[in-house]
Every structure is written in C-alpha cells, then in structure tokens.
C-alpha cells in the first residue's frame, strides 16, 4: 500500500539524510489521529534527560505515548512497521522497534535545538514527525527548523496536517519554534536497542 512512499523515504535518507513529504498518508487518518490527540487524557510535561535529572527548561511541550489501542493509531503504527521493514530490507539498519507519542504544544511552547540521538549511542536511529494541524499559517509559529551538523539551517517546516518528516536521528539538530496556537504532532523513533516493553 505504501511501497512507493517507503521507496521515496529510503532514497532520500541515502542521498540527503532527511525528507519532508506533504500529503503523506490518508487525510482521513490524519483527521482521526488529530481527534485522538485532542482527546487524550494521558499528557505529561516533557523534559530533556541529563546525566542527573530531567531538565524541563529546554522544552515546554506535553506528550502522550501511543499504542495500538485505537483504530487510527493501529493504522499509523502499521504504516511505521512497514517502513521499518522496508528500511531494514534495503538499508540494513537493524531497526528493532518503533516508539511514538502525541506531542502537544500550547501557546508559547517550544523545544530548543537538540539531537534525537548521539554518535554511537545505538538507540534512536531514524526519527519521524507527523503533523496533524489544520489551517496552519506562518503567523501561527511552531515551525520545525532542521539544521546540518555545522548549524546551518536546512529547512523550516510548517506543521500542516498530513506532513511527514523523516531524518537520521544523530545527523540533524532541530528545534521547534514557539507556537502561537495549540499544535499537535506524532513524534517517533526507530530504535536498535532492546524494546523496553
């Protein structure tokens, strides 16, 4: 079903290391995921792990981990399972599992520049971000900014509904600019360490 999309993502990861795809999945699925994100009662304040504690000053979003307990998340996770299998088959990445959460950024929320993984960490290998927001404009803020390793800005991504971003986790520092209205997405990671479940 998603074979051409998987191929497009795989080719981009090889050539550029990242890709931004508009109208990536089924629009109805995106709407259903947005409703789930809005209705979740499991949100918790997020933080950045440090050697000794959780730093909550570098990000202000709230997260709600997802699983296949609803039809929409089941379909989304089926898409990511297919992508995982495709990447393993064609790029030999050894991806073992995928984890994801809804992310909610309220007015003023942000996430400072960071990497999702570090060299030789052997955990997060490929990052996905899937946006769920209807009618998002430049004035609404909340853009994802992707940088190269030298800190040069590569792209600013408007978090429009059904936009999918995929990139190699340890190669692309990125940040979320302050949102000016409530913003929803699904952030996820393909990992090579042992599934904690």
Stronger pLDDT, 48 or 159, i.e. the higher one: 159
Is-above-0.75 flag for pTM?
yes
Confirm whether 25 is domain-assigned.
yes
Residues of the chain with pLDDT > 70, as a percent, come to 92
Confirm whether 180 is domain-assigned.
yes
* Rounded distance between C-alpha atoms, residue 131 and residue 159, angstroms: 5
Rounded alpha-carbon distances, angstroms, from residue 152 to 55, 115, 119, 145, 156: 26, 14, 19, 10, 12
Confirm whether 126 is domain-assigned.
yes
Confirm whether 113 is domain-assigned.
yes
Burial 169-195, CB ≥16 within 10 A → b, else e = bbbbbbbbeebeeebbbbbbbbbbeee
Domain that includes residue 181, residue range: 3-49+57-191
pLDDT digits (tens, 9 = 90+) for 121-171: 778 999 999 999 999 999 999 999 999 999 999 999 999 999 999 999 999
Confirm whether 39 is domain-assigned.
yes
Return the CATH number at 166: 2.60.120.620
Confirm whether 197 is domain-assigned.
no
Confirm whether 196 is domain-assigned.
no
Confirm whether 162 is domain-assigned.
yes
Helix (H, G, I), strand (E, B) or coil at 133: strand
Domains identified in the chain, total number: 1
């Amino acid at each position: 079903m998603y074979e051409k999309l998987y191929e497009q993502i795989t080719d981009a990861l090889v050539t550029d290391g990242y890709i931004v795809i508009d109208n990536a999945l089924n629009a109805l699925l995106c709407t259903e995921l947005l409703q789930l994100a809005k209705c979740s009662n499991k949100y918790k304040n997020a933080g950045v792990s440090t050697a000794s504690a959780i730093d909550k000053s570098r990000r202000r979003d709230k997260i709600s981990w997802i699983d296949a307990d609803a039809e929409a998340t089941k379909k989304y996770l089926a898409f990511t399972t297919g992508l995982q299998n495709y990447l393993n088959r064609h790029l030999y990445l050894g991806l073992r599992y995928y984890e994801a959460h809804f992310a909610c950024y309220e007015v003023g929320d942000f996430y400072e520049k960071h990497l999702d993984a570090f060299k030789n960490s052997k955990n997060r290998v490929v990052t996905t971000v899937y946006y769920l927001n209807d009618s998002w404009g430049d004035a609404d803020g909340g853009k994802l900014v992707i940088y190269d390793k030298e800190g040069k800005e590569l792209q600013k991504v408007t978090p429009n509904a059904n936009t999918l971003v995929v990139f190699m986790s340890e190669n692309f520092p990125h940040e979320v600019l302050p949102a000016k209205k409530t913003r929803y997405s699904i952030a996820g990671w393909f990992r090579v360490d042992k599934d904690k479940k």
